Structure 1
Amino acid sequence: MLVSMSDKELKRLSVLQEICDQRITQSQAAQLLHISERMSNKTPIKPLEE
């Protein structure tokens, strides 16, 4: 199965991966994604429990 993603979706995915790897904070992610910190709190971009 092949899934195509836009550039915006690919960037979001890479930022989410950086959060999961604990390389950046949620606040830094908001800046990278050009969204407010408040909006990032509503977005499920928290690290997954293993």
Structure 2
Amino acid sequence: MKSRDTLLRLKRFQVDEKRRRVSQIEMMIADFHRMASDLDREIQSEESRAGIS
């Protein structure tokens, strides 16, 4: 029984670690989306200032 408990604890730890990784990746994706929209706004601003668009 003890080895089963140990195995369950190990699997739980692995699942928690993967959840943390997924959460970090999701936060990175959100940051990239924010940066991309900021850059789009800056590009539009520069284009309108230069009379391109």
Instruction: Give the TM interval when normalised to the shorter protein.
Output: 0.3 to 0.5
Structure with greater helix percent: 2
* Normalised TM-score (structure 2): 0.32
Determine which structure has more spread, i.e. the larger CA radius of gyration: 2
* Normalised TM-score (structure 1): 0.34
Higher relative contact order (CA 8 A, sep 6+): 1
